[in-house]
Structure 1
Amino acid sequence: MAKDEIVWGILGTAKINDKVVLPMHSAPKCRVKGIASRSQAKAQEAANKYGLTVAYGSYEALLEDPEIDAVYISLPNHIHVEWTIKAVEAGKHVLCEKPIGLDAQQVEQLIAARDKSGRYIQEAFMVRTHPQWLKVRTLIDEGAIGELRAVTGGFTYNNTNPDNIRNQSELGGGGLLDIGCYPITTSRSIIGREPKRVVALMEQDPVFRVDRLGSVLMDFGGVQASFFYSTQTHPYQRMQFHGTEGRIEVEIPFNAPNDKPARLLVSESTSAGVGSDRWLEIQVCDQYGVAAATFAEAVLSGSPQAIPLEDARANMRVIDAVFRSARSGAWEGIQGS
C-alpha cells in the first residue's frame, strides 16, 4: 500500500528548528514525530517546545525508529556529512541544513551514499523552492527586463558571540558557508548556468579565525554577478537582477516573511525618473514548509528532487573557488565543472 505522508524526525536541537519544525509538521503530506539530542533531557525539552510526541535520547535512537521515513538534520556544519551518511544507511531520506558539506569533495561522498542507498538526500536551501524565486526566474525567461547582464546582492548580520557556532572555525563556521552561499545559489539558479571563474576579497576575524567579511565577483560569461556578505555589520539582505530593459529587485530574498506577501520590484526607471516601477506581491507562504512539502512529494512520487545533490556539488565548487581566490588574490576557475 502506497504511503500518503512522510514521517519526519529532527536530528539536533539547533535554533534553526524554531523556524523549521512547526511549518514542516503542518506542510502537506508531512508529519514530524520526534526530535533527537545526545541528551534525553534536552530532547524532551525540545519535544515539549514543538509539541512532538517522541524525544530520542540519542541520534542513533531516532535512526532506529522504523516509522521515521526522513530526517531533517540541523546539526553543526562539520558533522553534516557524517550523520547524513548514517541516516541513509539506516534507510532514511535526508533534508540537511546548508552547507550540506564543507567542500565539494564531501558532497561527492554524499552522492556515492545516495546512489548506494537509493535514498534521497537534499541540501535545505529553502529559498530555492520559494515562489518568489520561481517568479524571478519566470520573469527573466519571459524577457521582463530584456537580456540579463548583471546580478548584485548582499547578505549581512552582526554576531560577535564567541559561543555561536558561526564564530567557531572548528565547527565549520564563517560567513561564506553561512550566508555567502545564498547569493551564489540564487545567482546560479536564476542565470541557469555555472560561473567560469571567480575572484574574491575576504577578511578574517583575528580572534575567531573565521571569515567575517567578503566580496565576490562571479563571471558567468555574458553575465557578471557580484555580492558582499558580512557577519559583523548591520543586518541587510537584497538581490537585484539588471537587464538591458529593466531590473528586478528581490526585497527580502533569503529570510522571506511567513506572515505577509513577499515582494518583487520590476523596474524600468532610470536615474532621471523616466520609466515605471511595479511591485509584484507573492502569496503568503512559509518557505520552510514549502521546502518540506516539495521534498516529501518527490519522495512519495519517486519524482526528481527540486535540488539534486549534483546542484549542491556545483554550488560547493564555487564556494571552494571563492576560498582559493581569497588566498591567492587571483581569479580562480571552477574545478570539476
Structure 2
Amino acid sequence: MKLAMLGSGFIADFYTGALHGQRNRDRVHVVQSRSEDNLKSFCQRWNVPKWTTSMQEAIEDPEVEAVVIALPNHLHLEATLLAAKAGKPVLCTKPLGRNADEARQMLEAVEEAGIFHGYLEDLVYTPKTLKAVEAVQKGALGRILWARSRETHPGPHSDWFWTKSISGGGAILDLACHCIEIGRHYIGKDIKPVEVMCWADTLVKPIDAEDHAIGLVRYETGAVAQFEVSWAFRGGMDLRDEVCGTEGTIWNNHFLRTGFEMFTSGGKDGYVAEKAESNAGWLFPVGDEVNDLGYNHMFTDILTALENGTAPLETFYDGYVVNAIMDAALKSAQTKTWEPVDLAVWRGQELGGVQQHFTDYDADHYLVKEEVMPGGQTKIILKEKATGRMVQRVVNPQD
C-alpha cells in the first residue's frame, strides 16, 4: 500500500519506522511538511521517493492509497476534510481533534464520504495492553471496578504543543487521551462514560495550558477510570496501567521498569528511549521501542482491516468519545465539580444511569466478604436486605 505521510516530525518518524519495518510491504510514497529541510532529511532517512509542502497535493497524488495524519492538532480537521473530499482512506494521530466539536466534524466527514478511517491510538495496541484486555474480556478479573492509567514525562518535543491555540490544551490533550482510551478498553468501549471530575494546574511550565492533571471518569456500570498526566515528571517517561475487578487485578509497567536496566559512566549514543533525560548513570532502555509502544500492532490491525473491508480496533468514533471526555475534564478543572460527558453521538449500551451491583448470598442477604481465618474457620460477613443490618457467620472446618 502506498501512503501519504502528512508531517515529518517525531511521530511521523515512529509511524514510518513501523510501516516500513513490520508489514514491510507498505511504503510511505510521499511526505508533506511545512519545512523543506525536514522533508529532505526525512526522505533520505526513510527512502521516500516524493515530497511536497502542499497537503492537498500529497493527498491527491494519484498513486496514494491512504493518508496518514501526523500533523499538529490544529491541522487534523483540515487534513481530514481534504482526504474525505478526495475519497481517500484516512488514519489520524491522537487526539482526533482539539475538542469534541472538531472530532465530531471529522467523524461526520469520513462517514458521509463513506471512506475508511482509523484512529492511531498506539498505547491500546502495546503487547501488554492487548494481552491484559484479552484477559479482562475473558472474565479473568470478574466485573471491572476501577482502572488507572498514568503517563508522565518532561514534556513534548515541539513548540506547537506548548501553544494552546494550536494544540487545544496541555497535558490532558496530549497524554490523557491515551489514558482515557486505555480505561475504556478495560471497562468496555460500549459502556457509556457519564461524568468526569478533574484537577488540573500549571505548576512548572510558563504556558497557558495545564502541565499536570488527575481525573476520574465515571461509567454507567459504576466503574471509574483514573488518569494521571504530567509534562514535568523527571526521569524519563512513565507509562503504567492498573485494572481491578471483583475477581482479580492486573498491573502493567510499559517503560521505566521493563526488566532492562543498564549502567554506564558515559554513553556514546545520545538516544536511549523516548523522553529519556540522560545517557549516563542508570538507564532503562526499551528493547524494541516501536513495538513496545504499540505502533507495529496498530498499523497491522488498521491496514489489515482496510484491506479486508472491516473496521479496525480504533476508529474516528473512538477518538470523538475521547475528545468528549477530555472536554468534560477541562471544564471540571475550572468548575471544581463533576461535569457530565456530552455525547451527541453514542453508539454503545444505554443502561439508564450509573448502576449498583451487589452479590446475593441468599434470598435475604447480600454477601459482603468471605475469608478463611488463621484458625481455619471461614468467616462470612452478610447484610440483611430487609433491615440493612450487618451479621457474621463463622463456619468451623469440622462443620
**Quick one: distance in 2 between partners of 1:231 and 1:24?**
28
Correspondence for 2:245: 243
| Larger displacement relative to structure 2 (168-177 or 317-326) | 168-177
Correspondence for 2:384: none
**Quick one: distance in 2 between partners of 1:65 and 1:38?**
17
User: How many percent identity over aligned positions?
Assistant: 26
1:41 Cα deviation from its structure 2 partner = 4.2
User: Structure 2-normalised TM-score?
Assistant: 0.71
**Quick one: distance in 1 between partners of 2:130 and 2:26?**
22
Amino acid in structure 2 at the alignment position of 1:201: W
CA 1:83/1:254 → structure 2, altered by over 3 Å: closer, same or farther? farther
1:39 Cα deviation from its structure 2 partner = 4.2
Question: Could you tell me which of 10, 16, 22 is aligned with 2:11?
Answer: 16
Q: Does 1:331 align with 2:318?
A: no
1:289 Cα deviation from its structure 2 partner = 2.5
Q: RCO greater where, 1 or 2, for CA within 8 Å and sep 6 or more?
A: 1
| Larger displacement relative to structure 2 (36-45 or 49-58) | 36-45
Correspondence for 2:390: none
Correspondence for 1:63: 59
User: Structure 1-normalised TM-score?
Assistant: 0.83
| Larger displacement relative to structure 2 (196-205 or 318-327) | 196-205
Q: Does 1:198 align with 2:200?
A: no
1:98 Cα deviation from its structure 2 partner = 0.6
**Quick one: distance in 1 between partners of 2:257 and 2:14?**
10
Report the structure number with the largest CA radius of gyration: 2
Q: How does 1:298-313 map to 2 (within 5 A)?
A: 298-313=305-320
**Quick one: distance in 1 between partners of 2:4 and 2:21?**
14
Correspondence for 1:26: 21
| Larger displacement relative to structure 2 (29-38 or 72-81) | 29-38
Structure 1: gaps spanning 5 or more residues: 1-5, 258-283
CA 1:160/1:68 → structure 2, altered by over 3 Å: closer, same or farther? closer
Correspondence for 2:206: 207
**Quick one: distance in 2 between partners of 1:218 and 1:71?**
32
Amino acid in structure 2 at the alignment position of 1:198: V
Question: Could you tell me which of 125, 129, 133 is aligned with 2:125?
Answer: 129
1:35 Cα deviation from its structure 2 partner = 1.1
Q: Does 1:186 align with 2:193?
A: no
**Quick one: distance in 2 between partners of 1:324 and 1:289?**
35
> Are 1:41 and 1:57, in contact at CA under 8 Å, matched by a contact in 2?
no
> For residues 83-108 of structure 1, what are the alpha-carbon distances to aligned partners after superposition, in whole Å with 9 as ceiling and x for unaligned?
11112212221111111101111122
Question: Could you tell me which of 72, 84, 88 is aligned with 2:68?
Answer: 72
CA 1:62/1:311 → structure 2, altered by over 3 Å: closer, same or farther? same
Q: Does 1:233 align with 2:233?
A: yes
Amino acid in structure 1 at the alignment position of 2:181: T
Q: Which SS does the other structure have where 2:92 is aligned?
A: strand
Please provide the CA RMSD for this pair: 2.5
Q: Which SS does the other structure have where 1:158 is aligned?
A: coil
Correspondence for 2:299: 292
Q: Which SS does the other structure have where 1:218 is aligned?
A: strand
Q: How does 1:59-208 map to 2 (within 5 A)?
A: 59-159=55-155, 164-172=159-167, 173-192=169-188, 193-204=191-202, 207-208=206-207
> Are 2:96 and 2:323, in contact at CA under 8 Å, matched by a contact in 1?
no
Q: How does 1:212-223 map to 2 (within 5 A)?
A: 212-220=211-219, 221-223=221-223
> For residues 26-58 of structure 1, what are the alpha-carbon distances to aligned partners after superposition, in whole Å with 9 as ceiling and x for unaligned?
343522212112344432221001121222242
1:71 Cα deviation from its structure 2 partner = 1.4
Q: Name segments (4+ residues, structure 1) moved above 6 Å.
A: 253-257
> For residues 105-157 of structure 1, what are the alpha-carbon distances to aligned partners after superposition, in whole Å with 9 as ceiling and x for unaligned?
11221122112322122221022334432321221233323332222232101
**Quick one: distance in 1 between partners of 2:192 and 2:200?**
22
1:254 Cα deviation from its structure 2 partner = 11
Structure 2: gaps spanning 5 or more residues: 260-289, 347-399
